[in-house]
């Protein structure tokens, strides 16, 4: 941690105080924390992602997109395992014509010659126009953003930093694609694409169901302690009105949701409850029957201590498996989400569920490509150009 000591005083500030360091007026300068994803920004990014998605359906639209950011280069610095986040960022760059380069194994970079991580990142910023990074160190991307801000203040070259997963703490771009999926599910806006909006059909059956992420019950299941995707998504959802969250995890301290975060959500008015089985009940009804959106996760074994490894091996994980029988209890419209990868041994979502019309996880992953492309357009301040291209191609 020593090499980050110069950032210590900034790192220790409360989150709310830090956020303005990563903004340029209304626009993001860097994306480091899920708390930066406000409802207004999400709405803006959702519209842009929908435009990119529609433009990419035609050859003309594709070619126009490909020219948009063809003068930009991205560095994908991913020293922690990744399939979806890495590939979807790469695909997003390709959609927009951004050239991608990668470092996935620090042993192939000068870090083996004892170059500090901070120096490596500053070097990347000399050659590339944006740095997208995933590391096991939870503070690394935040420190890189401070470094870029310092360079900018000194009138030197500075580029945006995107946190693509930081230790067990934050995964803001996963929250972004999860929110895009949730916004699309609970919206009237998609009638043009599918002739009839699915949400209108749902509302006929459930007239009380309102559009948007508010007024809903979210059930998170699996590893609530070390799952950064859950923390990031719950943090974003806690901004909406009348949200209820059920956290379902084994009765084991390391797998429980962070107490501080739960307090923060409660302070914001979220109705928060914890359970130790998917079959649990609340107010006399099965929690699955009350759920508007299900978010399954795997147990993050790579974070296990030796003791946890032994303890967890002895644990019965079947109460945390979304079996076909449990699927019959879930509301008929509730999307079944999962950030993936799913664990093929524990089977928190057995493959039989894949054919369920509510299974959203593959579409959710594809949504990641569109919304990450929208994020890149936003960070490069090219939103107006996108709107112009959309207008011209659709005319
Ligand atoms: C997640 C991650 O890396 O945190 N994966 C992802 O980005 N889609 C979830 C996980 O690894 O379980």
Ligand 1 contact via 229 beta carbon (within 6 Å): yes
Q: 166 forms bridges with which residues in the sheet? A: 135, 170
Distance of CA 353 to the CA centre of its chain: 23
Smallest CA separation from ligand 1 atom 7, residue: 85
Predicted local distance difference test score (pLDDT) of residue 108: 73
β-pair type (73-78, 336-337): unpaired
Cα dihedral sign, 308-313-319-324: positive
Whether 5-171+367-384 and 173-364 share one fold: the answer is yes
DSSP label of 322: -
**Ligand 1 atom closest to residue 174's alpha carbon, by position in its atom list:** 7
Using one digit for the tens of pLDDT, what is the confidence trace for 359-377? 999 999 999 999 999 999 9
Ligand 1 binding pocket mutation candidate from 165, 181, 295, 345 (most atoms within 8 A of CB): 165
Topology adopted by domain 173-364: Rossmann fold (3.40.50)
The domain ranges of the chain are 5-171+367-384, 173-364
Peptide bond into 341 cis (omega under 30): yes
Ligand 1 contact via 85 beta carbon (within 6 Å): yes
Residue ranges of the chain whose pLDDT lies below 50 = none
Using one digit for the tens of pLDDT, what is the confidence trace for 92-124? 999 999 999 999 987 777 777 888 888 888 999
Topology adopted by domain 5-171+367-384: Rossmann fold (3.40.50)
Task: Give dist(CA 228, CA 222) in Å, integer.
Answer: 12
Predicted local distance difference test score (pLDDT) of residue 267: 98
**Ligand 1 atom closest to residue 339's alpha carbon, by position in its atom list:** 8
Ligand 1 contact via 319 beta carbon (within 6 Å): no
Predicted local distance difference test score (pLDDT) of residue 105: 86
Predicted local distance difference test score (pLDDT) of residue 65: 98
**Which of 189, 193, 191 lies closest to 43 in space, CA to CA?**
189
């Amino acid at each position: 941690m020593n090499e980050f000591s110069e950032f210590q005083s900034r790192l220790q500030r409360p989150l709310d105080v830090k956020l303005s360091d990563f903004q340029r007026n209304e626009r993001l300068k860097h994306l480091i924390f899920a708390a930066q994803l406000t409802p207004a920004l999400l709405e803006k990014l959702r519209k842009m992602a929908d435009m990119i998605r529609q433009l990419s359906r035609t050859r003309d639209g594709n070619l126009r997109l490909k020219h948009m950011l063809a003068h930009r280069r991205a560095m994908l610095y991913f020293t922690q395992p990744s399939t979806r986040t890495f590939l979807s960022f790469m695909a997003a760059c390709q959609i927009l014509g951004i050239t991608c380069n990668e470092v996935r194994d620090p042993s192939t970079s000068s870090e083996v010659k004892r170059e500090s991580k901070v120096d490596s990142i500053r070097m990347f910023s000399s050659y590339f126009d944006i740095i997208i990074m995933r590391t096991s160190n939870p503070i690394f991307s935040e420190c890189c953003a401070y470094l870029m801000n310092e360079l900018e203040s000194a009138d030197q070259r500075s580029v945006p930093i995107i946190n693509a997963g930081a230790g067990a703490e934050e995964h803001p771009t996963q929250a972004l694609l999860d929110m895009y999926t949730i916004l699309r599910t609970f919206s009237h806006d998609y009638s043009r694409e599918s002739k009839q909006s699915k949400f209108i059909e749902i509302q006929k059956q459930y007239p009380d169901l309102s559009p948007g992420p508010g007024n809903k019950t979210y059930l998170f299941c699996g590893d609530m302690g070390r799952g950064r995707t859950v923390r990031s998504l719950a943090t974003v959802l806690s901004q909406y009105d009348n949200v209820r969250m059920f956290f379902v995890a084994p009765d084991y301290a390391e797998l429980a949701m962070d107490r501080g975060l739960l307090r923060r959500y409660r302070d914001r008015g979220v109705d928060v409850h914890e359970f130790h089985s998917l079959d649990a009940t609340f107010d006399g009804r099965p929690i699955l029957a009350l759920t508007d959106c299900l978010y399954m996760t795997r147990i993050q074994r790579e974070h296990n201590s030796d003791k946890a490894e032994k303890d967890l091996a002895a644990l019965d994980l079947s109460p945390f498996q979304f079996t076909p029988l449990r699927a019959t209890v879930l509301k008929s419209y509730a999307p079944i989400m999962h950030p993936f990868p799913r664990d093929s041994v524990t089977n928190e979502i057995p493959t039989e569920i894949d054919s369920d019309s509510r299974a959203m996880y593959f579409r959710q992953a594809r949504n990641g490509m569109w919304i990450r492309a929208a994020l890149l357009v936003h960070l490069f301040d090219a939103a107006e150009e996108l709107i112009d291209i959309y207008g011209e191609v659709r005319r």
